[in-house]
């Protein structure tokens, strides 16, 4: 069996206008190790498959292509390709995002040098309305560089889409469908004592294309799934239950302010966990939530 230090997992669905740039940005990476690119297409009908087949034909040793025979859904497509990854480290890329030079080498080097780090992520630019932007606070959002399981629960996400690399040693976890969202996957990767998710701030290594995809179109569905996972983590005692209840409190408060469809389910989850309600945990979660400014500064690349 071939050995790859890194497996890059790409999921695609009707992304013919973007997927070529995604593939080329990964094929052009300069590394001192071998890596594989695994692509799974969820039965695209817009011409995406033809682009993928061409890339596979031109790069038969590096590209592995999986063409689903019917639409299996974004989460199942994600799960499928990550389970196929053979590399020591794994990167996820959405088919509409793309990498910048140095991404694979920098992240793999970091994991090599930091044995307690199970997930590493980096700064990313946002591509919106034909321009590139960085968050006004992108340098000060992450005043610490190492984050534990409580931080991940408080913030739900770890970095933007297509910024994470993780150690590929979680294939035996069968008691969760932990690929349903990246949130539970990231929590489970940090349940071991002293394991962290670390942030690299020395440069931009990918571009996130804003305003497209499931995160943009199905927010209330994702929110309900997050509530379900928080309830599961509460039941399983993955960390202090009062912290989990406090995070649920803040999510419900947001739903109430914005009249979100997920409010009623959130209230059910909150009252299911209220026995561990602690004022101190409410403030602890608020303190750990990273400040994210929605204003952007345009940059040139």
CA distance 123 to 28: 20
Report the Cα 260 to chain-centroid distance in Å.
Answer: 23
At 19, the pLDDT band (50, 70, 90 cuts) reads very high
Q: What angle do CA 16, 20, 26 make, to 5 degrees?
A: 140
Residue 216 has a pLDDT of 47
Shortest CA distance to 59 belongs to which of 17, 105, 20, 14? 20
Query: pLDDT tens for residues 215-267?
Result: 444 677 889 989 999 999 999 999 999 999 999 999 999 999 999 999 999 99
CA distance 191 to 201: 24
The CATH fold assigned to 6-214 is: Spore Coat Polysaccharide Biosynthesis Protein SpsA; Chain A (3.90.550)
Alpha-carbon dihedral 288, 289, 295, 299, rounded to 10 degrees: 60
The residue behind tokens 């799934």 is 225
Query: pLDDT tens for residues 256-270?
Result: 999 999 999 999 999
Half-sphere exposure of 70 toward its Cβ, with a 13 Å CA cutoff? 1
- The DSSP bridge partners found for residue 297 are 134
Query: pLDDT tens for residues 64-117?
Result: 999 999 999 888 888 889 889 999 999 999 999 999 999 999 999 999 999 999
At 176, the pLDDT band (50, 70, 90 cuts) reads very low
Residue 217 has a pLDDT of 45
184 has a pLDDT exceeding 80: yes
Range among 51-60, 168-177, 199-208 rated most confident: 51-60
Residue 219 has a pLDDT of 74
Domain definitions of the chain by residue range: 6-214, 219-293
Structure tokens at 217: 């179109």
> DSSP 3-state assignment of 198?
strand
| pTM, two decimal places | 0.89
Structure tokens at 230: 């928080």
């Amino acid at each position: 069996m071939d050995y790859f230090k890194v497996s890059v997992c790409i999921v695609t669905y009707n992304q013919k206008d973007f997927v070529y740039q995604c593939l080329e940005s990964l094929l052009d990476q300069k590394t001192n190790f071998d890596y594989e690119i695994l692509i799974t297409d969820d039965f695209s009908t817009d011409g995406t498959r033809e682009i993928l087949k061409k890339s596979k034909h031109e790069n038969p040793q590096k590209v592995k292509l999986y063409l689903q025979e019917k639409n299996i859904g974004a989460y199942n497509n994600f799960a499928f390709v990550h389970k196929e990854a053979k590399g020591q480290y794994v990167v996820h890329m959405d088919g509409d995002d793309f990498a910048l030079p140095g991404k694979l080498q920098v992240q793999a080097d970091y994991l090599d040098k930091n044995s307690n780090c199970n997930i590493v992520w980096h700064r990313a630019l946002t591509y919106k309305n034909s321009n590139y932007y960085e968050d006004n606070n992108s340098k000060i959002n992450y005043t610490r560089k190492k984050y534990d399981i409580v931080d991940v629960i408080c913030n739900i996400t770890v970095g933007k889409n297509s910024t994470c690399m993780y150690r590929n040693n979680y294939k035996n976890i069968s008691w969760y469908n932990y690929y349903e969202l990246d949130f539970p996957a990231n929590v489970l990767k940090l349940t071991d004592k002293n394991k962290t998710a670390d942030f690299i701030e020395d440069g931009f290594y990918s571009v996130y294309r804003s305003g497209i995809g499931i995160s943009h179109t199905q927010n209330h569905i994702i929110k309900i799934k997050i509530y379900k996972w928080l309830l599961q983590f509460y039941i399983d005692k993955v960390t202090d239950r009062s912290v989990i209840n406090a995070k649920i409190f803040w999510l419900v408060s947001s739903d109430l302010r914005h009249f979100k469809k997920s409010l009623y389910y959130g209230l059910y989850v909150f009252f299911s966990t209220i026995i561990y309600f602690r004022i101190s945990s409410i403030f602890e979660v608020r303190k750990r939530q990273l400040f994210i400014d929605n204003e952007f500064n345009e940059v040139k690349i």
